[in-house]
Amino acid sequence: MEIIFYHPTFDTPYWIAELSKKLPGANIRAWVRGDNAPADYALVWHPPVEMLQGRTLKAVFALGAGVDSILSKLKAHPEMLPLSIPLFRLEDTGMGIQMQEYAVSQVLHWFRRFDDYQAQQRESLWQPLEDYTHDAFTVGIMGAGVLGSKVAESLLAWGFPVRVWSRSRKAWPQVTSFAGEGELSAFLSGTRVLINLLPNTAETAGIIKAPLLAQLQDNSYVLNLARGVHVVEEDLLAALDSGKLKAAMLDVFSREPLPAESPLWRHPRVTMTPHVAAVTRPQEAIAYIARTITQLERGETPGGQVDRVRGY
């Protein structure tokens, strides 16, 4: 079995060594330009077109939860990866618990009014504030995939009403599910904290814009954990300045690193992190990849395959 590996920032020798332990019969090599030798599987992140083009592969694995970088290249170079070759993504591999930690910590931060107390501290103001109540602090999650389900589960444990909006209706205990464009307004009107975990598709790009934000409750919050292209940044800033939104927490941006001239850096009610909400954890990812390749070699149908028409 021949496996080629390419990631511009990962510790490639470490990944190859650990994968070799899990797949002792495989020959795993780092791909370099000019390597046209046969391969059965490709493990990639932002792969050059020539790495995949013309190969007869059994499967390709994206080394992350998102596959938009590969799908965007396929629009310009459809010959890079024929539809007959399965594309897999890392469904969880440790990302679920990281998303839970991030979402719960931020929702609790807003719920306990720590942002307001921080503002008072800057003014040397000692003033206890009225508590928020759980029943008036509904959390709405856009995107009900693996990560969305994990975040919903963790917030329920803290007593928050939770709702989700997705392409298809979900039957999750204690979670109110909304589906499709026709139910988006109803989903938004009852949401106090909007968490974005949507996949990056043509339909979802730019979805968080002025008309959507206007349907949220006044003094709502936005937490973007998916992709920067989902948010129209000018509209988000306008909603913050008007008071429609009370605060926003952003982990992802349309341009990364975020340019120094972006007003998001300086807005008093925007908090940000540098795309660290959930990162690939090598041991979990390696175990998943090895298990999935083993299943494929046995002729089984493992989970995690991307529907390239839907984009996730």
Reply yes or no on whether 275 is catalytic.
yes
User: What sign for the dihedral angle of Cα 194, 200, 206, 212?
Assistant: negative
- Describe the strand order of the beta sheet including 27-30 as a list of residue ranges: 27-30, 2-6, 41-44, 59-62, 87-88
Catalytic residue among 169, 275, 281, 308: 275
Identity at 293, one-letter amino acid code: I
Q: Which helix (H) or strand (E) holds 249?
A: strand 245-250
Distance CA(258)–CA(253), nearest Å, equals: 7
Name the burial class of residue 270, with classes exposed (0-12), middle (13-18) and buried (19+) by CB atoms within 10 angstroms of its CB: buried
Residues 136, 141, 147, 153: what is their CA dihedral angle, to the nearest 10 degrees? 30
Per DSSP, the three-state class of 140 is: strand
Enter the DSSP assignment of 85.
Answer: S
Reply yes or no on whether 46 is catalytic.
no
Which residues belong to the active site?
A: 227, 275
